[in-house]
Amino acid sequence: MQDRILVVEDRPGTLGLLTRLLEKEGFEVLQANNGEEALDILSDEYPDIVLIDLSLSGIDGFDICAVMKRDPLKAHIPIVMCVPEDIRSESGKEKFRPDVFVTRPFSNGDLITQIQARINIHRLEDRLMLVNRELQQLRRERRQQASGLEAAYLDTVHCLLAAAEAKDPYIKGHAHKVGAIARMIGEKMGFDSRSLDNLEYASLLHDVGKIGVPLEILSKKGRLAREEMDVIKTHPEISVEIVSPVGFLKRVVPIIRHHHENINGTGYPLGLSGEQIPMEARVLAIADAYDAMVSDRPYRKSLEHWRAIEIIGERAVSQFDAEVAGVFVQLAKDGLLAEVYPENESRTNGITDHEDIMLNDHNN
């Protein structure tokens, strides 16, 4: 079945170009020449996504967003808004914002990537909400079938993970390795079984938000521009947006959201520091950074096992929690990481200077 997209553009030439581009990509295109026509179409139609130009005559792009977001039947439809370079995402009321701003001029490839990413995220959210409702119903009706529910939960997790790995092949296997390391650290620190489970779920899902990051950024071989790093830094919040509708995953949201915070407050998304960062997120940060360093990336080869451990030790006050770093380093000294990386000792690639290695590692 074709995805249906409503394109709202009051310049006939541009509307025609966008229509041909989207039809070539397999979309069924609904056309609106102005805001009034768009609202007429939306009164009867339910497109999969809406592409709006901000600077429409009469009813503009933000007006259309406001109408859609107020309508419970339309509020869930993703909106991509094309804006001039000098207008940023803070324009418009917060709750009436589009899902994505695309700055003109833009490449055809970037526009298609953004549209397809929002459709994929929307489908995942719908699927997760459906699974969540079904699981809640099963829990009400069949409390005795707890093991079956747990299997359904795990299927949901693995579905999300597969989607992220399909978008970025460089993270294939990353989540499972991070989960294994994080669990080792948690066990050594005396975490209870619920905390260990939370840590494992968060490890599996911490990068699922990269499904919303353009592929050309994820696979870029050179240094990222500041704007590209800003896009990368959105992936924890996109991950949270995807997993939050699933009831049992709500408890891992803080871990996922804050796994890129630094102990000295220089991380993202909120710049938390010290005890403000959940302990499980501090554990995940080290496991995530270590696997990123000892794995190949588009822009560099993997580091040697000993050098990655050394870096974590060096950053045990600025970037990482000192207690967690100490536990990790001791696990490494005890040879326990060999269970996850049996081949790691043979690696001889040296350290590189790309994006300060892991603090800004864009595939971390």
What does the pLDDT look like over 175-209, one tens digit per residue? 889 999 999 999 999 999 999 999 998 998 898 88
Q: Are residues 12 and 82 in the same domain?
A: yes
- The pLDDT profile of the chain, 364 residues, written as one tens digit per residue, is 789 999 999 999 999 999 999 999 999 999 999 999 999 999 999 999 999 998 888 888 889 999 998 898 888 899 999 988 766 544 444 556 788 888 888 888 889 988 988 888 888 888 888 888 887 777 777 665 555 666 676 676 677 677 667 666 666 678 889 999 999 999 999 999 999 999 998 998 898 888 788 877 877 777 888 888 888 899 999 889 888 877 778 899 999 999 999 999 999 999 999 999 999 999 999 999 999 998 877 767 888 888 999 999 999 989 999 999 999 999 999 988 888 877 654 442 333 333 333 333 444 5
Q: What is the pLDDT of residues 254-300, one digit of tens each?
A: 999 999 999 999 999 999 999 999 999 999 999 999 999 988 777 67
CA neighbor of 11 nearest in space, from 82, 70, 93? 82
d(CA 24, CA 33) in angstroms, rounded, equals: 20
Q: Are residues 170 and 69 in the same domain?
A: no
Calculate the alpha carbon distances from 3 to 66, 172, 320 in Å: 23, 28, 44
In a domain, 115, yes or no: no
Interstrand relation of 49-53 and 4-8 (parallel, antiparallel or unpaired): parallel
d(CA 358, CA 11) in angstroms, rounded, equals: 45
Q: Are residues 190 and 278 in the same domain?
A: yes
Residue 203, domain CATH: 1.10.3210.10
Instruction: Indicate the helix (H) or strand (E) that contains 86.
Output: none
For residue 300, the cross-strand partners are: 297
Q: Are residues 87 and 142 in the same domain?
A: no
CB 276 within 8 A of CB 309: no
- pLDDT confidence of residue 356: 37
Q: Which domain holds residue 330?
A: 126-356
In a domain, 121, yes or no: no
- pLDDT confidence of residue 187: 96
Q: Which residues contact 359 (CB under 8 A, 6 or more apart)?
A: 262, 315, 319
From the number of C-beta atoms within 10 Å of its C-beta (0-12, 13-18, 19+), residue 30 rates as: middle
- For the chain, the domain total comes to 2
Q: Are residues 161 and 286 in the same domain?
A: yes
DSSP letter assigned to residue 344: G
- pLDDT confidence of residue 148: 62
In a domain, 113, yes or no: no
Boundary-marking domain end, from 50, 76, 106: 106
CA neighbor of 210 nearest in space, from 261, 156, 165? 165
- pLDDT confidence of residue 157: 65
Q: Are residues 75 and 200 in the same domain?
A: no
CA neighbor of 201 nearest in space, from 239, 163, 241? 239
- pLDDT confidence of residue 224: 83
